[in-house]
Each structure stands twice: as structure tokens, then as C-alpha cells.
């Protein structure tokens, strides 16, 4: 039987690592990765609310487009009320197709992170030359917002065998594609280590709501339970919880109230062990203090 491993990181159980703190002695870092995505009208990849019958797929395209036109702004209001900044995971084509959306993320103080060019195509299918050019183009376009992005999430969590090497060569500090841990870990590349910052495929509205057919109350309960469990472990080790949101899913009017309630509950509790932060701030803290293994 053929067996293989990615070769990017060694196995090391979470119980066998150095213990450290987040800033201010906190123990659980929580951040929101909000996906701002664009899709093609006449084909290409895209999540489906219901199976497509014909092309163009008006129903599913319009459902996704709702997130950028309406849902994102509803989430902005919620995060403003909660006084929370997020990591804005931006397709570069958002700058063309959704005027003002990326700028609104920047203006409210969110971290700008790269999410490829578009979610209509999977990054891993590109040749090395085309992938390098795509990464450079996306980086330059998002840098025009004012700050060069240091974090990357691949469209569809798709990578080629060379993606970590190309990201490190392009100046990226961290990648979010690998949901293999609850702590930042080091990934080997040809150009030095690249941090992997945890990004959940479980506390993530796309698989939870669309694939598992849960509703927002169930998703909110998952957040509450995850925080409860992680806090029971936090005295032994520092941990990260990334909460992944898509405005066309969680930005729907009936889903915001359950999400807001659980976040308001957590914010009111004001647990001194929780660090409400961004993925970039997590990576910066780990790098500055040489903490990741």
C-alpha cells in the first residue's frame, strides 16, 4: 500500500509542546475569518443552496451575490456593536466587482488577508508559473488598499504541491489552509518556515449550514461549546479558535440574531483568558517571540 505525508511539518502531539501565553497572559485566541468572495455567472465553481439545473445558474449566483451586497454590511453592523475587528479574507476581484466592500473592511480596521483572485477557480489546478503570477497579482492588488497582506487562505482551501513555497517566496507570514491543529505551527518551505494559523473547517458556517444542514442556532451552539471546551484546556496550553463566516450564509437576516446572541454572551462574560484578535496578530505574536513548533 502506498502511503505519503505532506512533508511540511513533523508530528508532535499538542501535549508535548512548550507552554506560552498570548498577550496580557491570555490563553485562548479567538478570531473571525470573514470570507468576501466572488463567483462567475456563467460557470465555474461555487457553493450551491440547491442543485443547479441550467447555466447560467441564476439562483445560486444571486444567493452568493447577496452576501456582498447585503450580508456583509449586516455583519459589519454586528461586529461594530460588539467592538470586534476581523480578518477580512478577500478575493482580489472583489475590488472590481464590489466597489467599496474591501475599502469598508479596511476602514473599520479589519486585517486584510488574501483569499486568491476569485472563488470560481481552485488554486491547486494552476501551473507553478500561473500560480506564482496569481499570488503576485493578488498581493499587489490588495496592497493598494494600504497594507501588504501577510496571510493567505486559498480559494476552496486548494493548494498545489508548491503553494507554501510560493507564498513564502512572495513574502507571506502565514497560511490558513491547514486545519490540522489548535495552535500555530511551522511549515517547512524552500525559503524558510511559514506559519500555519488554525482556520476551522468545523466552526465554519459553510460546511455547518450548507453541507450538514444545520441552522444558525446549531452553529451558535457549536461556537459556545467550542469556547467552553477550549477554556477547560487553556490552563495547560495556549489555543486558537478561528470562526469562519461567509456573508451570503451567516449574513442572512434570520441567521444574524443567533450568532449575535452567543457573541454578546461571550463578550459580556469578559473572560480574562480570551484574546479577541485577528489571524495576523496571532502570527505576529508567535513570530516576534519565536513560539511555534
Cell (9 digits) for 187:
511549515
Lookup result for grid cell 507552554: 19
Whether the predicted pLDDT of 23 surpasses 60: yes
Whether the predicted pLDDT of 1 surpasses 70: no
Q: What is the pLDDT of residue 48?
A: 84
Q: Is the peptide bond before 56 cis (omega within 30 degrees of 0)?
A: yes
Name the pairing type of β-strands 194-196 and 185-187: antiparallel
Q: Is 255 exposed, middle or buried (0-12, 13-18, 19+ CB in 10 A)?
A: buried
Alpha-carbon span 40 to 123, nearest angstrom: 15
pLDDT tens per residue across span 52-87: 888 899 999 999 999 999 999 999 999 999 999 999
Please enumerate in sequence order all residues whose Cβ is within 8 A of that of 117, keeping only pairs 6 or more positions apart, or say none: 91, 92, 93, 134, 137, 138, 155
**Arithmetic mean of pLDDT, 163-177:** 98
Of the pLDDT bands very low, low, confident and very high (cuts 50, 70, 90), residue 2 is: low
Q: What is the pLDDT of residue 53?
A: 81
pLDDT tens per residue across span 227-253: 999 999 999 999 999 999 999 999 999
**Arithmetic mean of pLDDT, 253-273:** 98
Measured in degrees and rounded to the nearest 5, phi and psi for residue 84 equal -120, 135
Domains and CATH numbers, the chain: 19-45+53-289 (3.20.20.370)
Alpha-carbon span 261 to 282, nearest angstrom: 25
Bridge partners of 240? Answer: 29
**Arithmetic mean of pLDDT, 193-201:** 97
Amino acid at each position: 500500500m502506498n502511503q505519503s505525508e505532506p512533508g511540511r511539518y513533523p508530528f508532535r502531539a499538542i501535549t508535548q509542546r512548550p507552554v506560552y501565553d498570548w498577550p496580557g497572559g491570555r490563553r485562548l485566541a479567538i478570531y473571525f475569518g470573514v470570507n468576501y468572495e466572488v463567483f462567475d455567472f456563467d460557470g465555474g465553481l461555487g457553493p450551491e443552496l440547491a442543485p443547479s439545473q441550467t447555466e447560467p445558474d441564476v439562483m445560486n449566483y444571486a444567493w452568493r451575490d447577496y452576501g456582498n451586497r447585503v450580508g456583509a454590511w449586516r455583519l459589519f453592523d454586528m461586529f461594530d456593536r460588539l467592538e470586534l475587528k476581523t480578518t477580512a479574507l478577500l478575493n482580489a476581484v472583489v475590488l472590481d466587482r464590489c466597489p467599496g466592500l474591501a475599502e469598508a473592511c479596511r476602514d473599520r480596521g479589519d486585517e486584510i488577508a488574501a483569499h486568491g483572485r476569485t472563488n470560481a477557480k481552485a488554486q491547486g489546478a494552476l501551473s507553478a508559473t500561473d500560480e506564482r503570477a496569481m499570488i503576485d497579482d493578488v498581493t499587489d492588488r490588495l496592497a493598494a488598499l494600504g497594507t501588504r497582506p501577510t496571510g493567505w487562505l486559498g480559494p476552496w482551501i486548494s493548494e498545489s504541491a508548491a503553494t507554501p513555497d510560493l507564498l513564502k517566496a512572495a513574502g507571506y507570514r502565514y497560511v490558513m489552509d491547514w486545519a490540522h491543529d489548535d495552535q500555530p505551527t511551522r511549515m517547512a518551505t524552500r525559503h524558510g518556515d511559514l506559519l500555519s494559523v488554525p482556520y476551522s473547517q468545523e466552526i465554519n458556517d459553510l460546511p455547518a449550514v450548507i453541507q450538514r444542514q444545520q441552522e444558525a442556532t446549531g452553529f451558535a451552539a457549536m461556537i459556545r461549546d467550542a469556547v467552553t471546551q477550549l477554556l477547560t484546556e487553556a490552563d495547560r496550553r495556549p489555543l486558537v479558535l478561528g470562526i469562519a463566516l461567509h456573508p451570503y450564509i451567516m449574513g442572512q437576516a434570520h441567521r444574524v440574531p443567533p450568532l449575535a446572541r452567543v457573541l454578546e454572551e461571550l463578550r459580556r462574560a469578559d473572560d480574562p483568558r480570551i484574546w479577541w484578535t485577528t489571524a495576523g496578530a496571532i502570527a505576529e505574536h508567535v513570530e516576534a517571540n519565536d513560539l511555534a513548533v
